[in-house]
Amino acid sequence: MWYEEMRRDETRRDETRRDETSRDEKRRAEQSRTAEQSRAEQRSRAEQSRAEQSRAEQSRAEQSRAEQSRAEQSRAEQSRAEQSRAEQSRAEQSRGVVYLGPRFISEPPGVVRYSNSSGVRLDCRATGSPPVDVQWTTVSGEPVSYVPGISASDTPFSLCRESLSNGSLVFAPFPARLFRQDVHGGRYRCVASNSLGTIISRTVRLKPVVLQSYRVTATDGSAPLGQTAVLTCHVPDHVRVTVRVISWGVQGRVNVYPTLLGVWEL
């Protein structure tokens, strides 16, 4: 019986060894498959990376070629334009054409006085080659725009301010009630320009005289004996530019005049 028992033990040991061997083989096979799969994935990623890099390089090369083509086209167009200008210049020189920057022929004065019943026209003329464009601006540099007047029923006051194509700035007659200090009494400049440069005239200051009745009033003043009293003369705004106080009357008989020092004397 001991012999049979020994045989059974040996048989069990053989089966255990075979099981272990089988498990080892399976484990090695699984490890081999895992390693092969990992290597395959790495190869796939490397190939994909190389393909993306190749596409990026191809895209950069195409973009570089396109930029070079645009640059060459731009240089060619610039060269053709320069050749065209040179040919035009030679042709004009052969015809005796001379290029000149803008120059004033007539420039408006610095101060212009006018009445609301007559209006005024500011003339500005300039010459140059190529032809000169003449425009009017305010002192702030803003282009002078057309300012409409009152309704047509109030003709002839149908417009207020207009810049003409011949370089004149026209202020039409206007009734006293439509006086505007920013328009009729503004400051303007004439600007002449062509492709060679720009010139600007002196500043023109308008001083309109509004013809209408006005009344000058004086305020009463009082002071203790021996002290200074201040009397104020009020002139309406619409005539303040042209009206100047030259003396004061005392009870209609004595005039008080200013001196060079600004002190009033009898």
Res 235: pLDDT: 82
Alpha-carbon distance of 122 to 76, in angstroms, equals 48
Tally Cβ neighbours within 10 Å of residue 202: 12
- Please choose, from the candidates 143, 82, 136, the residue with its C-alpha nearest in 3D space to the C-alpha of residue 108: 136
Take residue 61 and report the two structure tokens written for it.
Answer: 């090369």
Sign (positive or negative) of CA dihedral 190, 194, 195, 197: negative
CB 190 within 8 A of CB 201: yes
Alpha-carbon distance of 199 to 190, in angstroms, equals 8
Res 103: pLDDT: 93
pLDDT over threshold 70, residue 2: no
Split at pLDDT 50, 70, 90, the class of 159 is: low
pLDDT over threshold 50, residue 155: no
Alpha-carbon distance of 250 to 209, in angstroms, equals 29
Res 120: pLDDT: 92
Give the model confidence (pLDDT) of 75-123 as tens digits: 888 888 888 877 776 666 666 667 888 999 999 999 999 988 889 999 9
What are the residues whose beta carbons fall under 8 Å from the beta carbon of 204, sequence distance 6 or more? 108, 109, 110, 111, 112, 122, 187, 188, 189, 190
Find how far residue 248's CA is from the centre of its chain.
54
Give the model confidence (pLDDT) of 191-215 as tens digits: 999 988 999 999 999 998 877 777 8
Res 133: pLDDT: 93
Question: Which of 43-47, 133-137, 156-160 has the highest average model confidence (pLDDT)?
Answer: 133-137
Q: All domains of the chain, ordered by start, with CATH?
A: 104-209 (2.60.40.10), 213-266 (no CATH)
Radius of gyration (Cα) for the chain, nearest Å? 50
Split at pLDDT 50, 70, 90, the class of 157 is: very low
Alpha-carbon distance of 238 to 184, in angstroms, equals 11
Full-model pTM = 0.47
- Burial per residue of 219-241, b for 16 or more beta-carbon CB atoms within 10 angstroms, e otherwise: eeeeeeeeeeeeeeeebeebeeb
What are the residues whose beta carbons fall under 8 Å from the beta carbon of 138, sequence distance 6 or more? 144, 186, 187, 188, 189
Task: Name the more confident of 36 and 10.
Answer: 36
Lowest mean pLDDT across 80-94, 174-188, 219-233: 80-94
In percent, the amount of the chain with pLDDT more than 90 equals 19
What is the DSSP-derived secondary structure letter of residue 115? E
Alpha-carbon distance of 228 to 54, in angstroms, equals 99
Q: How far is CA 36 from CA 3, 31, 39, in A?
A: 49, 8, 5
CA dihedral 241, 242, 243, 244 (to 10 degrees): 80
- Please choose, from the candidates 218, 136, 234, 134, the residue with its C-alpha nearest in 3D space to the C-alpha of residue 183: 136
